[in-house]
Structure 1
Amino acid sequence: MLEIGSGGPNAAMLAHLVGPTGTVVSVDIDKGVATRTRTGLELLGLTKSVEVVTADASEPLGRGVFDRIMVTVSPWSLPETWVEQLAPDGILVVPLQIAPGLRRIIGFRKKDGRLVTESTVPGGFVPLQGSGLFNPASALLTGPSGKPVAFKFPGSEVPERFGVSDDVLATDPIDAWSGVIYKNRTIWLDLLTYLLIQPGACAMEAEEPADRGSDMSFYPALVDGTSFAALHRRPASESTVEVGAIGKGPDATRLTKRLADTIAHYGARHRGAEPLFQWWPTGTDPGDVPPSVAVLPRPHGTLTIGWLGTGIG
């Protein structure tokens, strides 16, 4: 088993999981972390079961292939070496960055060279460092409260059409509603995933939520030129909320309707369906990728997302 991102306790638990006949390789780019891990494993008498390596895990380790790979840092992409070092039918567990501000812990199984979802749960870790480090392009503004508002995009550059300004943030908001209802304190993980992979989507991070237009607003947003629409919610009853959109700018009416309609579409066609994540390494024949999925190009391959039995539609 390979652990990418060391620390100690997890490597020790993995050593017990693989048993006396198995081995664990734990790799970390930080020499201090690797040293601490070795010291802890020595105190536990587990140095024969766990090899600690100081290296950039995005590069080949020269340790052959592994039946299982567990990643305890959040990458934006899956380096080719991870796929190559995973045995056929092996499992890779990774807290993948799906979009800026959104991470999901995904269990992938290797099938015919690609990776296919086995399971997924909410969660994430610190970003992957080294050659795999990803810093999303961002535009930093100041909201009416005087506090920062950042738009973060799923690429290395801010889109050329982006024109939201401090003056736009200071205008009156417009809202629209979807009719989609959730119980209070529900985790909207699949809805957030669906919204953040739409064309023009980004993460709108506001230190003061009301700078988006309401203190009931939330970070996924659609941006087009000088206008934006962010996720919004309002009480539907004592125990439920309705999800909608709130926006600002000269085209806010259209954008808020578009976002609210997207939420309604998700609620009608995809809510309750498990998203299917697949990773297609560089060199995959484009004809192999299903047409009814969201396609997210990444540095070392392509991530696709569909909803089982429904496609992305």
Structure 2
Amino acid sequence: MKDTTLVIMAAGIGSRFGGGIKQLEPMGPNGEIIMDYSIHDAVEAGFNKVVFVIRKDLEETFKEVIGNRIATKVNVEYVFQEIDNLPEGFGVPEGRKKPWGTGQAILACKGVVNEPFMVINADDYYGKEGFVKIHEYLTDGHKTDVEYDMCMAGFILGNTLSDNGAVTRGVCVVDDNEHLIGVNETSGIVKTADGAAYEKDGKLVPIDPKSHVSMNMWGFTPEFLDVLDAGFREFLGGLKEGDIKSEYLLPSIVDSMIKDGRAAVTVLESNDKWFGVTYKEDKPTVVASIRKLIDEGKYPESLY
């Protein structure tokens, strides 16, 4: 069986979730967190290693809450995203408080991940379909004539909205061959009686609820880590004096590679309902959603 790795980005603290560590918030009936269900689905789909991207200061807490029990089921490794983990010749600008975004998070895997890998957020529930489709894609070999062959799960916008406030989604532009052309980052998307809309100039603009959106569920080959390494240096070298907020982000990196003709990204449609904890008020909905999935027989009462 071909080795494949699940990379989970778990280095952030959710300020909109009351300042707590939302990635470690119990959601299942026996204290399971969202990551438990994602890892269960990934292993079921065929992934045989899990790499957690975390902050170094969370390591012991993280292992106590999830890492140690996961390590009894699958090979587990840890990498660390830190603000000062920078290439030689670069320093942290005065006043910067946060690390450098999802691109830096995945770059932390260089030297640890040497096989095709999938990337997800720690605090998102994705459903089973995306894991199965991305694993199949990663193990089927190169499918396009470009240098970098990638894939992503394309979720249906209407399946990703929150009842508790507006969300930002990367709305995908897809060609007739199911290849990604670009991602339009759209903020302020809310549910409406007709489906969905976003705010622009004080007005609500309708948006097709059947649109594909990116939820940071990607499939990459290990060579992509070399691209991230070179690109991070270029990103840091291009920062203007006083810029303490710019981030090195996966969607922007992939978008640039598509436009340069270096990458092709196949969009794999997932019809599963996404849910997560964008807002503290989302927790009861997530708990109820997991309960429903268990009652439907999609998960056992206890994962362990």
The structure number with the bigger radius of gyration is 1
Whose relative contact order is higher, 1 or 2, with alpha carbons under 8 Å and at least 6 apart? 2
TM over 0.5: no
More strand by proportion, 1 or 2? Answer: 1
More helix by proportion, 1 or 2? Answer: 2
